[in-house]
């Protein structure tokens, strides 16, 4: 029975949420995985990650999304948080320009700790608070283009673009790993399919697939 449950997806992708404290990371996560939103601000405690399984290009993808437990407040996110991550959602708050200014700092953090092939989506959250806007959408767009990131404005409150942000990241990751598998297959003389089997965890940085157990225990 247990092994059946283990194999109800084709791929498991680890995605990390990063960005300043208070930008809405935990609510983006709860909106995406449980369709819940909480107006009260409370630090994330206890939860390490939440998952949701969805379809991408006809494949069943299990997204394992990691949320900080408030460490971002103390700039104390450890490299274990980034280990094995194939995607990142870098969130700022459109009503607080400081959180947008800090995007560069988060990108540096990703460059230092995460895999160089990590797929990054920048999200300007709280788009519902347009009367308090401090960061123009065009400024977000320009920075994203300069840094080679995807970009969307989101609202965890109104469930606006949250689904799309994750779908986009997961689709890009899937395309990256399919291309890698194809390249490996060609390098091997085009023999048996080099695409990993069901239930394997993909590391965009590695040419080999890790087992699920190996990935999640880190």
Residue ranges that bind ligand GDP, judged by CB under 6 A: 21-27, 38-39, 41, 44, 125-126, 128-129, 155-157
- How far apart (Å, rounded) are the C-alpha atoms in residues 111 and 88? 12
Segment contacting Mg ion by CB under 5 A, of 38-46, 133-141, 152-160, 208-216: 38-46
Output the smallest distance, CB 24 to ligand GDP, in A. 3
How far from chain centre, in Å, is Cα 140? 18
Which does residue 129 bind out of ligand GDP, Mg ion, none, counting CB within 5 to 8 angstroms by kind? ligand GDP
Alpha-carbon gap, residue 210 to 120, rounded angstroms: 21
Residue 27 and residue 159: Cα distance in Å, rounded?
10
Q: Minimum distance between the CB of residue 20 and ligand GDP, rounded to whole angstroms?
A: 7
In whole angstroms, the minimum distance from the beta carbon of 209 to Mg ion comes to: 31
Q: Is 44 in the site for Mg ion (CB under 5 A)?
A: yes
- Asked if 128 and 158 touch (Cβ cutoff 8 Å), the reply is yes
Q: What angle do CA 119, 23, 84 make, to 5 degrees?
A: 30
Q: Which is nearer to ligand GDP, 36 or 57 (CB)?
A: 36
- If one asks whether residue 26 binds Mg ion (CB under 5 A), the answer comes out as yes
What is the H or E stretch that residue 120 is in?
strand 119-125
Burial class (CB in 10 A: 0-12, 13-18, 19+), 201: buried
Q: Of the two residues 47 and 136, which places its CB atom closer to Mg ion in the complex?
A: 47
Sign of CA dihedral 15, 21, 22, 26: positive
203 binds, among ligand GDP, Mg ion, none (CB under 5 to 8 A by kind): none
> Which listed option, ligand GDP, Mg ion, none, makes contact with residue 23 (CB within 5 to 8 Å by class)?
ligand GDP
Q: Give the shortest CB-141-to-ligand GDP separation in angstroms.
A: 19
Residue 96 C-beta: closest distance to ligand GDP, Å? 10
Residue placing its CB nearer to ligand GDP in the complex, 61 or 135:
135
Number of residue whose CB is nearest ligand GDP: 24
Beta bridge partners of 51: 64
Residue 190, phi-psi category: left (phi > 0), alpha (psi -120 to 50), beta (remainder): left
203 forms part of the interface with Mg ion (CB under 5 A):
no
Cα 29 from Cα 149, distance rounded (Å): 20
Point out which residues bind Mg ion (CB under 5 A).
25-26, 44
């Amino acid at each position: 029975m247990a092994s059946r449950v283990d194999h109800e997806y084709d791929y498991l992708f680890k995605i990390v949420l990063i960005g300043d404290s208070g930008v809405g990371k935990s609510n983006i996560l709860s909106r995406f995985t449980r369709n819940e939103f909480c107006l009260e601000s409370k630090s994330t405690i206890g939860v390490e990650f939440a998952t949701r399984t969805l379809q991408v290009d006809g494949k069943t993808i299990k997204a394992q999304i990691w949320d900080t437990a408030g460490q971002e407040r103390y700039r104390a996110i450890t490299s274990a948080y980034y280990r094995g991550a194939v995607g990142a959602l870098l969130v700022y708050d459109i009503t607080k320009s400081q959180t947008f200014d800090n995007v560069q700092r988060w990108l540096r953090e990703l460059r230092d700790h995460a895999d160089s092939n990590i797929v990054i989506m920048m999200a300007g959250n709280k788009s519902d608070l347009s009367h308090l806007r401090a960061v123009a959408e065009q400024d977000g767009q320009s920075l994203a283009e300069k840094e080679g990131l995807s970009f969307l404005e989101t609202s965890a409150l109104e469930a606006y673009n949250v689904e799309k942000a994750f779908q986009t990241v997961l689709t890009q990751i899937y395309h990256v790993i399919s291309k890698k598998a194809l390249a490996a297959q060609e390098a091997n003389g085009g023999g048996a399919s080099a695409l990993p089997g069901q239930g394997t965890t993909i590391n965009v940085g590695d040419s080999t697939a890790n087992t699920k157990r190996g990935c999640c225990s880190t």
